[in-house]
Amino acid sequence: MFPVTVEAIAGFCGGTIEGDEARAIKGVNALEDASEEELSFVASRRAAAQAASSRAGCLLVAADFDNRSRRTVVRVQDPRAAFAHVISVLYPKRKPAPGIHPTAVIGNDARIGNGCSIAANVTLGERTIVGANSVIAPGCVIGDDVTIGEGCLLYANVTVYDRVRIGSRVILHAGSIIGADGFGFAFTGEQYEKFPQIGTIDIGDDVEVGANTCIDRAALGATRIGEGTKLDNMVHIAHNCQIGRHVVIAAQTGFSGGVTVGDYAVVGGQVGVGDKARIEPRSVVGSGAGILTSKIVRAGEPVWGTPARPLHEYLKQLAALTKMPAMLEQLKELRSRVEELEKI
């Protein structure tokens, strides 16, 4: 759609223009790399300080941005969100043409909605339903009795096991596995016996699942992912977890069985969560934190560290830890003095 005018960009995101509304914009870029013909955005104090030296032809900025340099800007409520929206408008993703590739294998009584694209080497199981306008990329394997909603996008080599329900407008990135058995075993005599995993998975609308992420089916009942939740790459959600609405979980985080996460919680990368722990709505768990089995993370102050504890407490303990070498040297000196005194 390039080039476009600043006026058109303001129309896309509902912003207010200051400067040259007729300026032509031919692309988007990071603040420090943008040229006079590119759009960028300012969403933090640090970025605001960098803006003076940026060559960007137009900036998306907040209402309180200091534009003393009188450059061309578009004021919006949330510059980052507005920038993302403009990108989605100016760089629309190419959607494959509807149809079923001749190499796809379609099971008995499977139903495929209008406008769907089923690519090469896809397997759809028996009685599986694919909603209208969904796209299933090459190499995906979809089991029996699966329901996929409307407008979904499954990238290459996604695997969905039997009896999984996926809502509408869900995105599953390449290599994600939905519905593998939970890690359930009972120790009997001298060996482990597999506990049958006969539950299912229920994924709500507008969920995005990152590449190589695994969501395990429930032993009984359902593992649930609430609407609007976003999972990064290489996340593991174990059996019977209940993930709320609009939760964000960063890469390499793992949840043990039966974990509950409340709506709008934020979980950083490389977090480990023990069995049946509970993360309350709107909680924030810092990267690398460890939450022990059955523990509760209360909403309010972010938690950090292992075991996870309030951020102010974690920082205090971390500061004390950095003083340990000096304290040990002082202790050695005091011990030496005591030994000298004992000789008198």
The one catalytic residue in 85, 101, 173, 239 is 239
Q: Report the C-alpha gap between 90 and 85 in whole angstroms.
A: 9
Q: Give me the numbers of helices (H) and strands (E) for the chain, helices first please.
A: 5, 41
How are beta strands 99-100 and 117-118 bridged, if at all? parallel
Q: Alpha-carbon torsion 41, 46, 52, 55, what sign?
A: negative
Distances, alpha carbon 192 to alpha carbons 132, 188, 198, 287, in Å: 44, 6, 18, 33
Lookup: tokens for 326: 């000096």
Catalytic annotation present for 239: yes
DSSP one-letter code for 177: E
Q: Which is nearest to 184 in space by CA: 195, 176, 170?
A: 195
Q: Which is nearest to 95 in space by CA: 125, 78, 74, 119?
A: 119
Q: What is the DSSP annotation of 116-164?
A: -EE-TT-EE-TT-EE-TT-EE-TT-EE-TT-EE-TT-EE-TT-EE-TT-
Q: Where are the alpha helices (DSSP H) in the chain?
A: 6-13, 45-51, 79-90, 311-322, 324-343
- As a whole number of Å, the end-to-end CA separation of the chain is 90
């303001």: which residue's tokens? 10
Q: Which is nearest to 25 in space by CA: 4, 11, 8?
A: 4
Could you give the residue numbers annotated as active site? 239
